[in-house]
Amino acid sequence: MKTILLLGAGTGSPDAVLKLKRLGLKIVMVELRHVFDFKKCEPADEIIISDYRAPDFIDFALRLRESWHYDVAVSITEAGVAVAARINERIGSRGANLKAIGYLNDKAAMRALLKEHDFSPVASQVIRHESDLAAVIAEAGFPLIVKPVDGGGSHGIHLAHDTHEAITAVAALQAEGLLPLAEQYIDGQEYSVESFSFNGHHAIVAITEKLVNERFIEIGHVVPARLDEATAAQVARFIEDFLGLVGVTNGPCHTEMKISSKGMKIIESHNRLGGGNIPKLVELARGIDLISLNGQWATGMVEANIPSIRPKGAAAIHFFVFPEGEVIDLQGIDQLRSDPSTVEYRCSYTKGDTVPPLASNSSRAGYVVVHEADANTAIEKARHLASGVVALTR
């Protein structure tokens, strides 16, 4: 029996640990204290509460190996991917390419690499001084996106229409201790492309269409995206070229892009599974279980062959957005339970709980997943069901 050191259960796929356990793996689970969810982590054989982001964690993990003899480190979380790769490098196990992870985690480095190769160029600048902001304004004009250079989960993204808004956005990120990156705003519809790579060969598993609000927080996804066959093929080739350029070699990748008025543009990419329960949508609509595939590849159960895609209609998720404050009443959950289209739902709050401001993807209030015959029906059904879940707050 193979043993994995699993860094984080993830916030977007509630059955991830269970899926890995069903592969016949022994799981040594490490989770962050502030996101620990016993129900999600319960299938693991061992559970350790520790900050795997800490500088000394890798040495701790190597000592753990003396007791639990794990074969490989795996992470489905943004914070754990690079840590797992470093552990695997130290113990000689297969893992993701650290150089590629470096480009994907550092949005400025990624932009510089793409610009160097004239691939999906976007004007951008790390903002350390006032002159940096002036330089990118002169090059890109407005609007500008100002965001953390190493952020994720739609946290800290600001749209600036003028110099005052740009300065305010930069100051807000700096106040959080974050290094700002300002870049040219990219118009158009946003998508994410879910892929899996084997020794430098990239399989495009699904294209996800995204719904975002005015603050760029994702409030819905649908798989497959509503693209014609020719455009979908162009997107797939574009992403394959991108993955090759940044050096992705193995494992899952979740790449966000737009089809803009200036062509296809990369937004950002991550050497991990997509969040927001995207693996569930892919499994329902494309017939591929990315979570299990990740575990199978990491432990050598599969080599360079991805299971055949088996299209099965369309799947969509829509997230609940509640007003901040104390919940005094919650309505609409019974409708989710009784609707035949509902595959899965989750509500993070009940009466008496306090809803915080919606600041990032991680602060969404819950979701409903549906499975329908086509993408239009799926996303509209998910939107309708989600709109019926209402929290009254004070």
- The domain ranges of the chain are 3-95, 123-184, 187-310, 315-393
Torsion of CA 211, 214, 218, 224, to 10 degrees: 10
User: 3-95 — its CATH code?
Assistant: 3.40.50.20
Span 187-310 CATH architecture:
2-Layer Sandwich (3.30)
| Structure confidence by residue, pLDDT tens digits, 111-150 | 999 999 999 999 999 999 888 999 999 999 999 999 988 8
Q: Give the global pTM.
A: 0.92
Give the Cα separation of 240 and 205 in Å (integer): 11
Given this model, what pLDDT does residue 5 score?
Answer: 97
Query: Could you give the C-alpha distances from 327 to 1, 148, 229, 318, in angstroms and in order?
Result: 46, 32, 45, 20
At residue 169, φ and ψ (nearest 5 deg) are -65, -45
Asked if pLDDT for residue 220 goes beyond 70, the answer is yes
- Residue 153 is predicted with a pLDDT of 63
- As given in the structure block, the two tokens for residue 114 are 């793409």
pLDDT, mean of residues 363-382: 95
CATH architecture assigned to 315-393: 2-Layer Sandwich (3.30)
Q: Decide whether 187-310 matches 315-393 in CATH topology.
A: yes
Phi, psi for 366 (deg, rounded to 5)? 145, -170
Inform me whether the pLDDT recorded for 362 exceeds 90: no
Least confident of 16-20, 282-286, 355-359: 355-359
> What pLDDT, on a 0 to 100 scale, did the predictor assign at position 152?
66
Say which residues have a Cβ less than 8 Å from residue 9's Cβ, sequence separation at least 6: 16, 17, 29, 31, 35, 37, 40, 41, 76, 77
State phi, psi for 239 to the nearest 5 degrees. -70, -40
In 176-311, alpha helices (H):
229-246, 278-286, 290-298
Alpha-carbon gap, residue 232 to 257, rounded angstroms: 12
Mean pLDDT of 226-233: 97
Q: Mean of the pLDDT values across residues 52-63? A: 95
- State the average pLDDT for the chain: 93
- Binning pLDDT at 50, 70 and 90, where does residue 154 land? low
Q: Return the structure tokens found at 158.
A: 């600001």
53 pLDDT higher than 90: yes
Token pair, residue 124, equals 């951008």
Tell me how crowded residue 287 is: count the other CB atoms within 10 A of its CB: 14
- pLDDT above 70 (res 263): yes
pLDDT in tens, 80-101: 999 999 999 999 998 889 999 9
Does the pLDDT of residue 157 top 90, yes or no?
A: no
Please report the pLDDT score of residue 303 as a whole number. 77
**Percent of the chain with pLDDT strictly greater than 70:** 99
Q: Are 11 and 75 in contact (CB under 8 A)?
A: no
Report the pLDDT value the prediction gives residue 194, as an integer from 0 to 100: 97
Residue of 113 and 157 predicted with greater confidence: 113
* pLDDT band (50, 70, 90) for residue 304: confident
Task: Assess whether pLDDT exceeds 70 at residue 183.
Answer: yes
What is the structure's pLDDT at 361? 74
Considering only CA atoms, give the Rg of the chain: 21
Query: Which CATH code, of 3.40.50.1370, 3.60.21.10, 3.30.1490.20, 3.30.1240.10, is assigned to 123-184?
Result: 3.30.1490.20
Say if residue 236's pLDDT is above 70. Answer: yes
The CA angle 342-343-345, to the nearest 5 degrees, is: 80
pLDDT band per the 50, 70, 90 thresholds, residue 360: confident
Residue 18 has pLDDT above 80, yes or no: yes
